[in-house]
Amino acid sequence: MSESFDALRDLYQDVILDHGRHPRHAGRLAAFDATAKGDNPMCGDRVQLWLKYAPDGRIEKTGFEARGCAISVASADLMAEIVAGTPVEDVRALFSAFREMAKHGDGPDAAVAPGGKLAEKLERLRPLAGVHEFPSRVKCATLPWHALIAAIEGTQETSSE
Amino acid sequence: MNMHDTTGMARLRADFPILTQRVHGRDLIYLDSAASAQKPRAVIEAMRVTMETQYANVHRGLHWMSERATDAYEATRDDVARLLNAPDRAEIVFTRNSTEAINLVAHSYGRGVLRPGQAVLISEMEHHSNIVPWQMLRDAHGVGLRVAPVTDAGELDLAAFEALLADGTVGLVAITHMSNVLGTVTPADRLVRIAHAHGAKILLDGSQAIVHRRVDVQALDADFYVFTGHKLYGPSGIGALWGRRALLEAMPPFLGGGDMISSVTFERSSWAQVPHKFEAGTPAIIEAAGLSAAIRYVEAVGYDAIGAHEARLTDHALARLAAVEGVDILGRAQDRGGVVSFTLANAHAHDVATLLDRQGIAVRAGHHCAEPLMRRFGLDSTARASFGVYTTEAEIEALAAGLERVREFFA
Ligand SMILES: Cc1ncc(COP(=O)(O)O)c(C=O)c1O
């Protein structure tokens, strides 16, 4: 049996199991500048997030509430960790690179080429790259990011469909 | 058919070619029959033979091939009438699936017969396909929508159900005959009696029930009954509505087009007789051949054998799953069919499904198109194992063992 679970270890790396079980950024922020909900109607995953900007326009803090699988919770938590202190344009670039990685397993793409300033952040998302082998789970990983972008843009609701 | 020993089951399983497939290097253990059942060779063959030897459009040609195709298509109507013990073959309307059958009734009976101010009564354990069409009717036509609650055990709350009918404004009850989430079989005959006593007609959603139980619409005394072919070992793309002839005749058509008219001028058209009035456009000709074979297959296995087999499997599954630490089974109805929904502590249903899948075990995870029911139980998803004629006790054992591994993985 262990051989079939080896592939699963790529999907459920310890980092993911850990963040999925004990998210550090779970919870609504008492004071926030923007909020948005993400919804994956196909599987019922839901996330709401709140974000607060620093005076210089960078993201200061993100908090979230998620009802979903280990992948979506871990992804939301890792995202919250990584975007803290990041300017909004970089968040967009990270999202598109991360989306590539989640879909295809590789990346970072040109936007955040190795050695580029976002490479280190993207590397911390690498444990989620395993979802590319599970097409139905890619949306679990990208849902919190869709919600984050929606919050930034003031859209408030998004869906990962 | 002998379904209580391994030789009998091996013979039956050999009827289903897909069961020899391997998934992630393991034998496929298909526990998702409630979403859609696998197909016996007889169904596959019937569809192939139709395409190879007697295919043409139906009700249209005067040529030999079209006549043969029409005969075969109409013979499936007889099969469905026999399956449901309908008194009149003209009461069988072919649809694409249950969803379309319910939409047909919501549209044609809902707008054509029900009046604004009347209400439709559904239950908390309906599939979205038996919720949304009634909401659309409510919003477009001013027909109210009431919802009968389910108990913590996952059974319909009969007292509340009756109370919701008491003021006599409910014109139609639309309710499942078996829940696709809880496995609960509803006491359809009692529901019919209660509905009729309060002047309401009743539609039963038999999508799940007919897979597990013999259905007799006359004994039930129902008014409408719907089911979908693909869950009954038939092809996707065909389902049926049974309705009492007088009701069907009083209803305006659903879709307009070819085959459903008796005459068309630019000023007006007149409708064909039932059931053709409700069958606009070229129907699922090939699928009808498949459905006929599926019905014959189920009849050959026999509902007594199917019922006994599934009761055995379900009891076994309930006992085995309950023994896995952290497993919580949703739904404890007295009368139930071969569907078991559950949650596992510390693991989301999707993660459970992915880990089981890697062991070759196909279960469904999610809200099962029954979000309000999930909410009723304070959940957003469950994993669900569901059984068919080909399911074996060994597969239930594999599920229980697989769940133990999932539990360890997330421990
Ligand atoms: C109880 C119930 N009703 C209705 C449906 C809808 O069936 P279909 O999608 O074939 O229309 C299903 C299955 O999905 C079901 O389980």
Please report the ipTM that was assigned to this predicted complex: 0.82
> Is the shortest distance between the CB of B32 and ligand 1 below 6 Å?
no
In this prediction, residues B150-176 reach a mean pLDDT of 98
Contact A8/B at CB under 8 A: yes
What pLDDT does residue B2 have? 80
What tokens appear for A55 in the block? 């005076």
Contact B375/A at CB under 8 A: no
Contact A9/B at CB under 8 A: no
At residue A123's C-alpha, the angle toward residues A117 and A129, to 5°, is: 135
Contact A71/B at CB under 8 A: yes
What tokens appear for B301 in the block? 């296995």
Q: Which of the residue ranges B114-128, B230-244, B369-383 would you say has the lowest mean pLDDT?
A: B369-383
For residue A42, which residues of chain B lie inside 8 Å, CB to CB?
366
What pLDDT does residue A110 have? 47
Of A91, A98, A96, A93, nearest in space to A151 by CA: A91
* CA B323 to centroid of ligand 1, rounded, Å: 30
Residue nearest to atom 12 of ligand 1 (CA): B207
What pLDDT does residue B343 have? 96
Domains of chain A: 3-159 (3.90.1010.10)
Work out the end-to-end distance of chain B between its first and last CA atoms, rounded to an integer number of angstroms. Answer: 43
Work out the end-to-end distance of chain A between its first and last CA atoms, rounded to an integer number of angstroms. Answer: 34
Whole-angstrom distance, CA of residue B394 vs CA of residue B374? 30
> Is the shortest distance between the CB of B381 and ligand 1 below 6 Å?
no
> Is the shortest distance between the CB of B184 and ligand 1 below 6 Å?
no
Of B25, B365, B410, the CB nearest to A4: B25
State the catalytic residue, choosing from B210, B369, B398, B399.
B369
* CA B204 to centroid of ligand 1, rounded, Å: 12
- Give the atom of ligand 1 at the shortest distance from the alpha carbon of B231: 10
What pLDDT does residue B260 have? 85
Q: Is A14 exposed, middle or buried (0-12, 13-18, 19+ CB in 10 A)?
A: exposed
* CA B99 to centroid of ligand 1, rounded, Å: 6
For residue B371, which residues of chain A lie inside 8 Å, CB to CB?
44
Of A117 and B347, the one with more pLDDT: B347
Tell me the percentage of chain B whose pLDDT exceeds 90: 91
Q: Which of the residue ranges A38-42, B28-32, B205-209, B250-254 would you say has the lowest mean pLDDT?
A: A38-42
Q: Whole-model pTM?
A: 0.92
The confidence band for A155, taking pLDDT boundaries of 50, 70 and 90, is: confident
Q: Please say if the pLDDT value at position B299 is more than 80.
A: yes
Whole-angstrom distance, CA of residue A145 vs CA of residue A149? 6
In this prediction, residues B267-289 reach a mean pLDDT of 94
Pair A92, A52: CB distance under 8 Å: no
The confidence band for B261, taking pLDDT boundaries of 50, 70 and 90, is: confident
Contact B405/A at CB under 8 A: yes
B369 is catalytic: yes
Ranges of each domain in chain B: 6-30+302-410, 45-299
The confidence band for A109, taking pLDDT boundaries of 50, 70 and 90, is: low
What tokens appear for B75 in the block? 């013979």
> Is the shortest distance between the CB of B169 and ligand 1 below 6 Å?
no
Contact B359/A at CB under 8 A: yes
Whole-angstrom distance, CA of residue B364 vs CA of residue B34? 9
* CA B359 to centroid of ligand 1, rounded, Å: 27
What pLDDT does residue A13 have? 87
Q: Please say if the pLDDT value at position A6 is more than 80.
A: no
Task: Mark yes or no for CB contact B24/A69 under 8 Å.
Answer: no
Task: Mark yes or no for CB contact B366/A42 under 8 Å.
Answer: yes
Distance from CA of B29 to the nearest CA of A (A): 15
Tell me the percentage of chain B whose pLDDT exceeds 70: 100
- Give the atom of ligand 1 at the shortest distance from the alpha carbon of B228: 10
pLDDT digits (tens, 9 = 90+) for B49-92: 999 999 999 987 789 999 999 999 999 999 999 999 999 999 99
The confidence band for B257, taking pLDDT boundaries of 50, 70 and 90, is: confident
Instruction: Give the best residue of A1, A6, A65, A128 to mutate against chain B (max B CB count within 10 A).
Output: A1
What pLDDT does residue A157 have? 66
Q: Please say if the pLDDT value at position A117 is more than 90.
A: no
Of B348, B355, B410, the CB nearest to A68: B348
The confidence band for B269, taking pLDDT boundaries of 50, 70 and 90, is: confident
* CA B172 to centroid of ligand 1, rounded, Å: 19
Q: What is the DSSP letter of B32?
A: B
Contact B345/A at CB under 8 A: no
Q: Which CATH architecture fits B6-30+302-410?
A: Alpha-Beta Complex (3.90)
The topology (CATH level 3) of B45-299 is Aspartate Aminotransferase; domain 2 (3.40.640)
Pair B384, B365: CB distance under 8 Å: yes
Of A105, A135, A108, nearest in space to A120 by CA: A108
B125-137 CB burial, b ≥16 within 10 A, e <16? bbbbbbbbbbeeb
What CA–CA distances, in Å, run from B70 to A104, B17, B285?
50, 29, 9
Q: Please say if the pLDDT value at position B317 is more than 90.
A: yes
Task: Mark yes or no for CB contact B348/A70 under 8 Å.
Answer: yes
What pLDDT does residue A113 have? 57
For residue A134, which residues of chain B lie inside 8 Å, CB to CB?
354
Distance from CA of B25 to the nearest CA of A (A): 8
What tokens appear for B325 in the block? 């630490």
The CA dihedral of B394, B396, B397, B400, to the nearest 10 degrees, is: 160
**Pairing state of beta strands B224-228 and B239-243?**
antiparallel
Cross-sheet strand order for the sheet of B339-344: B327-330, B339-344, B382-386, B364-366
What pLDDT does residue A107 have? 64
Q: Please say if the pLDDT value at position A70 is more than 60.
A: yes
The average confidence (pLDDT) of chain B is 96
pLDDT digits (tens, 9 = 90+) for B7-27: 999 999 999 999 999 998 999
Task: Mark yes or no for CB contact A69/B349 under 8 Å.
Answer: yes
Residue ranges of alpha helices (H) inside B143-212 are 158-165, 188-197, 209-212
* CA A65 to centroid of ligand 1, rounded, Å: 32
